[in-house]
Amino acid sequence: MVRARGVYKNYGRLQVLQGLDLDVARGQVTAIIGPNASGKTTFNKILLGLVRADRGEVVVDGHRLDGSSSYRAHIGYMQQAARFPENLCAYDVFRMLADIRGAAAGRDEQLVEEFALGPVLRTPIRVLSGGMRQRVNAALAFLFRPNLLLLDEPTAGLDPISSGTLKDKIRQERAAGRTFILTSHVLSELEELSDRIAFLLDGRVQFSGTQNELKSLTGEATLERAIAHLMRQAPKAAAPTKTTTTP
């Protein structure tokens, strides 16, 4: 579904991605894990065309990224912290994106109910709580039944019920064959949801494989401990550690 080769990105003197290679398998949930400033969000934004890579090749669903926008019709994106025009209501935002995508875009009308947005659908977004805005954000990501979903810290700011709803939704859509890329610092959540792990450090993928492969590589029983193990090895990892990739 996603293929990245030799991707570099610098922000001024800050080197964020330094030759990132990653394959994301279709129909699976891939978790991108890494310390702060390891390049997780930058990689997601490169996939969306929000950030341009300095070098390297990225292919999304057979489309080589070249600055065009049409391929994004098949992508859903949930930002870490969404902000919407304050005087619009959630209903306006849903309609706006539906208008932009055109009538042909099949909509998941159940989402309003699933994320319990009915009572606030026509309330100006400026008066909604942060958690409620995040629910709107989550519903928008799934709204057009995209093939690929990029969810950046998706449960941050959600209450336990909404967080559970979102996780159920991810499982349900994964079962329907959709591909997910998840970034989160809540490792228990990623352990629960993800099929594959990509561990980023210093702008490179230090490990890519299934959870079991990671656990057996590190000899640890949980994802959290396995990631901690990789991070402890970080200084040694100047030379890349074992990388198993499955296209």
Partner 1 sequence: MTTILKIVRYVILDVLRNRWVIAYAIFFLAVTDVLLRLGGSGPRALLSLLNVVVLLIPLVTIVFVTIYWHGAREFNELLLSQPVARATLFHGLFAGLIIPLSLAFVVGVTIPVLVQRAADAETLRLLALMLVAGCALTAVFGALAVLIAGLVDDRLKGLGIALGVWLLMTVAYDGLILWVAMTFQDYPLEGAMLALSFANPVDLARVLLVLRFDVSALMGYTGAVMQRILGSPLGIAAALGGLAAWSIIPGLFALRAFRRRDF
Q: Which residues bind partner 1 (CB under 8 A)?
A: 11, 45, 48-52, 68-73, 75, 77, 79, 81-88, 92, 96-97, 99-101, 124, 140, 150
46 or 166: CB nearest partner 1: 46
Pair of tokens at residue 41: 């969000």
Backbone angles phi, psi at 65, to 5 degrees: -70, 125
Helices 160-175 and 130-142 cross at an angle (nearest 10°) of 10
Pair of tokens at residue 149: 């979903």
69 or 212: CB nearest partner 1: 69
Measured from the CB of residue 150, what is the shortest distance to partner 1 in angstroms? 8
Measured from the CB of residue 50, what is the shortest distance to partner 1 in angstroms? 4
**Hey, how many other C-beta atoms are within 10 angstroms of the C-beta on 87?**
9
Measured from the CB of residue 93, what is the shortest distance to partner 1 in angstroms? 8
14 or 239: CB nearest partner 1: 14
67 or 219: CB nearest partner 1: 67
Q: Which amino acid is at 100?
A: I
Measured from the CB of residue 215, what is the shortest distance to partner 1 in angstroms? 33
Helices 223-232 and 211-218 cross at an angle (nearest 10°) of 50
* DSSP bridge partners of 32: 183, 198
Q: CA 92, CA 206: separation in Å to the nearest integer? A: 43
